[in-house]
Structure 1
Amino acid sequence: MNPEARRLVDRLWSYCNVLRDDGVSSKNYLEQLSFLVFLKMAHELELSNNSISDSTQHRYILPEEIRAKGRGWGELLDLTGSALERAYTSLLHDLGGDGEHDDNVRPHTDGDGEDEAEDDGDTPRTTLTLIFKRARNHIQNPANLRRLIHDLINKEDWSTARSDIQGDAYEALIARSVEDTKAGAGQYFTPRPLIESIVRVMRPTQHDTITDPACGTGGFLLAAYAQILRDHSADMYPEDYEHLASGRIWGTELVPETARLAAMNLLLHNIGAPDGIPLIKQEDALKREPQDLATLVLANPPFGTKSSQMISNEDETGNGKGKQNSNGHAYSRRDFWTKTPNKQLNFLQHIASLLDRDGRAAVIVPDNVLYESGNAATTIRRELLLRYDLHTMLRLPRGIFHAGGVSATVLFFDWAERRHSEDEPPRTQQIWTYDLRTGKRFTLKQNPLRAEHLADFEKAYCADDRSQRTVSERFQVHDGAALVKTEDVKLDLGLLTPEADEEESLPPGELVAAVVDDLRSALAEVAALAEELGVELTESADA
């Protein structure tokens, strides 16, 4: 990290510790920091208008009705005490009014000149309305609020192109917040070295359209953007930068608080515009068929198997709703191969549907996706091998996620031409599996996963020409056609040491966590089978 960025991180994080005494969690602090930084950026942009003589070229971020009353960063700088607290609380309330302030909305283009603006009622129409949607003030001590505004944020220039400082600092604060939380969304926070390794072998270019349907705070999207700049900046034209920053990179995130962090993270890395269409969609990615396809999909979807929604591939009513399950909820996805309430399996189907022609995907899945029994799981694995080229699997070690005992694998698969008959061979001819798990022990603090641990995998992957791959002790090849013909199409392949031996060596806490995860997977499959048979489970049986 840039030394200046590290300095900024240390300053901002030290103040998080101060606010903890007032009951402000690290998560809430990061949220408040996002609000205030956005307001400061809007103020900086407004000041830059003074150097532009043509008033028609002036840009304003805050809505006219806010600016006309002298509201915004300047107002916060001038106030103290309870007046400051009231003004800040009122400003957040007015800006977070569920997206009604859309005066400055600009059309979003996907890089091909097509306008793509839509309004789903409660859907934010600008990055501003996404970030401030239902915003609340969690800093009740006016003295602490004033110090945060004056001594920390106001002393930094947030609107410059120095994303290696402000952007990297913000991302580092997100990482520290996750480490501090150790629960909730942070438990499956994807380690940065793993993200960067996956992106390196996927080789993104300025011509790709890139998405993450469960983007969290945007780690995969930012890593792909950074890799493009490293590899292709010498070949890029101004319009390439504009297209990447205005629609070729986007994500979807279900949790509103996380979505606003992702949007702010992208902004600070010069992706998106405060007054433009949000590049982060705050919604359930599974609720409807993809509206935009991508040539590169990078994702670490939620690991939990249970979902309140039954995803059906049957009746389509035109509004995304299908036949209801026993809870009264269902989505209709006719593009899916089968129906299941299992969230992990549905994300795998969704990611496959997201791929554009010649597209490629890398998705992190818990190991139960590879071997889970039941009609739905078997069908999904078989269809994946038949329709797509699942060419590589990276078996990940335990200890790299905040949730102990998690066993996960990265699936790398490519779009393939449609099979025109059942007699045609599956599109997956060979599956190469790299075992990074056997004999590897990692912890979050003492022995974290680092880039050098993935160097041999990247070399074996042969991103430039996969036909040059060679078998080694850790890198094995399997016959895709033979796997398709097996009864359960289990893909639990490639480990040098059997999984049972690995689990016996786990510490008791991690072993219990692994057992619980397996039991949850089994219960999800029982619930899915009950749905297929029309059996209504009681609340206790379905819990």
Structure 2
Amino acid sequence: MITGEIKSKVDKIWENVWAAGLTNPLSVIEQITYLMFIRALDDQEINNIRSKTLLGADVELIFPESDIGQAMRWSNFKFRNADEIYNIVSNFVFPAIKSMKHGKLPDFDEHGKLIPIPDTDETKDGFDFFAKHMSTATFIVPTAQVLEKIITGLDDLYTHDIANLDMQGDLYEYMLSKLSISGTNGQFRTPKHIREMMVKLLKPTPQDIICDPACGTAGFLVSAAEYIRDNHSEKMDKNDWKHYESNMFSGFDTDTTMLRISAMNLMLHSIKYPQVDYKDSLSKQNTIHDVYTICLANPPFKGSLDKETINDELRSITNNTKKTELLFLALFLRILKKGGTCACIVPDGVLFGSSKAHVALRKEIIENHHLRAIISMPSGVFKPYAGVSTAIMIFTKTQAGGTDNVWFYDMKADGLSLDDKRQPIEDNDIADIIDRFEHIDSENERKRTEQSFLVPKQEIVDNGYDLSINKYKEIEYIPVEYPPTSQILANIKALNEQIMADTAELERLLNE
């Protein structure tokens, strides 16, 4: 749990970077991310040395044994003066990380020139995964003094406040919450509590293969990983953990900055070998079919693509549309295994749009697969990024129909105010949503005037496959009885007389 004190310390580090002229939140997070990783390497090295010396384990060390190699360790350079720290980090540690292989940092010759690690067939590990996405990274902390302040601040956090892996993840999540500019890039960071709700609705198991083809900072993958650890870790065997660390989680993005951040985010949650890579999920180069058992995503809402680059299979399902929100739905159907389930966030327009592409896609899901639920969310969920109205769509790939009744839920509150401040409030429908979805058969008796209800497939078909909740929700009008006009006038007259009397009394007191 990140407390107010820890947030204050993080904010202080942030302010130091900001004051030095680095004002893009994404860039700030990137630079702090690199330093968190550098410290994590030294923590791992301490564990390696302990295992090697005390237990006699055959463990390869991360840092070269040379003077330069040992100077690159966080525990050694953090005590130096600001200029020395800046020289070590910018000229040695950072270039070494970009050339890291097989969990080892390269050494430098006597002239300070990097000595590359030879390529081998050795299996890459989690550090190589991070280094792969570091290939285009740049170190842009502006001054030695700012770097020293960041290192001092992070070291204080880790020494006194960050006690375990979960807290490291929470710390990173708090930093990611500062990405308030993300909406301008079309990358809306999904709030953690919404991600966790979607994961709880699907209940992933250690056997699942989970994908987010528009992964951004890998938030959905992290939430799924946390759910599995919290609910299944005691029963997981060696093979389950191997699957968890490697093939269970996949994600793709076309933003290399986001991939670097997602790499760090996943590493902080013990996911060592995730299948996260640079890929345009909607392009012809993506040929993935029938691989995943779960898809969790909040794909891009805005924009359209060059039709020539779009995968032909996706175009055929969506009537040649270029709208990304529709193409991603078609992609989910293609990459899921038969029996696999998707929970994704869609803009409201997907639910009721009247274009041929909109109707064709809704018809495909309803007629040829199993549409299970539509959860309408309030428009403030994505503030302060945007006030867009969205819904969660849950469906299972069957290729043989199966839609009987569709469950609708009108979410009114998510536990936070729906303004830009997003402060905690008491009203929260999330627990009710999860409980009712788990006991969906009991929803049969619910009336259309209630917050959730079932709608038969045929009624949806008759309405042109419209999935907007307002199409089916009934509003109960309760008549309000007002007093007769004569009584209202009498009340107004009495109020005026009281006002006149009070005014006269006030004048009397002022004149005494």
Report the TM-score, using the length of structure 2 for normalisation. Answer: 0.76
What is the rounded CA distance, in whole Å, between the counterparts of 1:36 and 1:459 in structure 2?
A: 42
Q: 1:133 aligns with which of 112, 119, 135?
A: 135
What is the rounded CA distance, in whole Å, between the counterparts of 2:8 and 2:153 in structure 1?
A: 14
Give the 5 Å matches for 1:181-260.
Answer: 181=181, 183-185=183-185, 188-260=188-260
Q: Is the 8 A contact 2:70 2:76 kept in 1?
A: no
Distance 1:151 1:15, change over 3 A: closer
Question: What's the % identity of the aligned pairs?
Answer: 24
- Partner amino acid for 2:428? E
For residue 371 of structure 1, what is the aligned residue in structure 2? Answer: 352
Q: 1:147 aligns with which of 130, 145, 149?
A: 149
Write the deviation string for residues 109-132 of structure 1: whole angstroms up to 9, x where unpaired.
9xxxxxxxxxxxxxx993232442
- Partner amino acid for 1:48? N
Does residue 264 in structure 1 map to residue 246 in structure 2? no
For residue 29 of structure 1, what is the aligned residue in structure 2? Answer: 28
- Partner amino acid for 2:236? M
Q: Which runs of no fewer than 5 residues in structure 1 stay unpaired? A: 110-123, 311-323, 420-425, 500-543
For residue 539 of structure 1, what is the aligned residue in structure 2? Answer: none
For residue 88 of structure 1, what is the aligned residue in structure 2? Answer: 89
Q: 1:300 aligns with which of 298, 314, 317?
A: 298
3-state SS of paired residue (2:179): helix
Deviation at 1:104, TM superposition (A): 7.7
Does residue 340 in structure 1 map to residue 341 in structure 2? no
3-state SS of paired residue (1:11): helix
Q: Is the 8 A contact 2:413 2:428 kept in 1?
A: no
Write the deviation string for residues 36-95 of structure 1: whole angstroms up to 9, x where unpaired.
111122222223332315888323457999976964546743654445434433343454
Q: Is the 8 A contact 1:395 1:495 kept in 2?
A: no
What is the rounded CA distance, in whole Å, between the counterparts of 2:440 and 2:146 in structure 1?
A: 56
Q: Is the 8 A contact 2:211 2:294 kept in 1?
A: yes
Distance 1:47 1:436, change over 3 A: closer
- Partner amino acid for 2:329? L
For residue 411 of structure 1, what is the aligned residue in structure 2? Answer: 393
For residue 40 of structure 2, what is the aligned residue in structure 1? Answer: 41
Which structure carries more relative contact order (alpha carbon 8 Å, separation 6+)? 1
3-state SS of paired residue (2:407): strand
Deviation at 1:397, TM superposition (A): 0.6
What is the rounded CA distance, in whole Å, between the counterparts of 1:103 and 1:76 in structure 2?
A: 29
Q: Is the 8 A contact 1:433 1:494 kept in 2?
A: no
- Partner amino acid for 1:279? Q
Deviates more, 1:59-68 or 1:237-246: 59-68
3-state SS of paired residue (1:188): coil
Q: 2:330 aligns with which of 336, 339, 349?
A: 349
Write the deviation string for residues 412-456 of structure 1: whole angstroms up to 9, x where unpaired.
10121x34xxxxxx4322211111259997224255577833222
3-state SS of paired residue (2:345): strand
- Partner amino acid for 2:429? H
Deviation at 1:17, TM superposition (A): 0.9
Q: 2:441 aligns with which of 467, 473, 480?
A: 467
Task: Number of aligned residue pairs: give it.
Answer: 448
What is the rounded CA distance, in whole Å, between the counterparts of 2:67 and 2:403 in structure 1?
A: 57
For residue 59 of structure 1, what is the aligned residue in structure 2? Answer: 60
For residue 434 of structure 1, what is the aligned residue in structure 2? Answer: 409
Distance 1:432 1:64, change over 3 A: farther
Q: Which runs of no fewer than 5 residues in structure 2 stay unpaired? A: 102-115, 476-512
Deviation at 1:334, TM superposition (A): 6.2
Does residue 490 in structure 1 map to residue 488 in structure 2? no
Deviation at 1:257, TM superposition (A): 1.3
Q: Is the 8 A contact 1:35 1:132 kept in 2?
A: no
Deviation at 1:389, TM superposition (A): 0.5
RMSD between aligned alpha carbons?
3.7
3-state SS of paired residue (2:454): strand
Q: Is the 8 A contact 1:217 1:261 kept in 2?
A: yes
- Partner amino acid for 1:355? L
Distance 1:469 1:65, change over 3 A: farther
For residue 477 of structure 1, what is the aligned residue in structure 2? Answer: 454
Distance 1:157 1:340, change over 3 A: farther
Q: Rg bigger for which structure?
A: 2
For residue 317 of structure 1, what is the aligned residue in structure 2? Answer: none
Distance 1:377 1:226, change over 3 A: same
Deviation at 1:208, TM superposition (A): 1.5
What is the rounded CA distance, in whole Å, between the counterparts of 2:67 and 2:171 in structure 1?
A: 29
For residue 343 of structure 2, what is the aligned residue in structure 1? Answer: 362
Q: Is the 8 A contact 1:102 1:125 kept in 2?
A: no
For residue 280 of structure 1, what is the aligned residue in structure 2? Answer: 276
3-state SS of paired residue (2:154): helix
3-state SS of paired residue (2:138): coil
Q: Is the 8 A contact 2:33 2:261 kept in 1?
A: yes
For residue 503 of structure 2, what is the aligned residue in structure 1? Answer: none
Does residue 456 in structure 1 map to residue 432 in structure 2? yes
Does residue 20 in structure 1 map to residue 22 in structure 2? no
What is the rounded CA distance, in whole Å, between the counterparts of 1:164 and 1:183 in structure 2?
A: 27
Q: Is the 8 A contact 1:46 1:59 kept in 2?
A: no
- Partner amino acid for 2:441? S
Distance 1:475 1:336, change over 3 A: same
3-state SS of paired residue (1:478): strand
For residue 511 of structure 1, what is the aligned residue in structure 2? Answer: none
Deviation at 1:481, TM superposition (A): 3.9
Distance 1:356 1:107, change over 3 A: farther
Write the deviation string for residues 299-355 of structure 1: whole angstroms up to 9, x where unpaired.
111111x23332xxxxxxxxxxxxx3xxxx444446951332111101111111121
What is the rounded CA distance, in whole Å, between the counterparts of 2:216 and 2:332 in structure 1?
A: 16
- Partner amino acid for 2:275? L
What is the rounded CA distance, in whole Å, between the counterparts of 1:449 and 1:103 in structure 2?
A: 55
What is the rounded CA distance, in whole Å, between the counterparts of 1:65 and 1:340 in structure 2?
A: 58
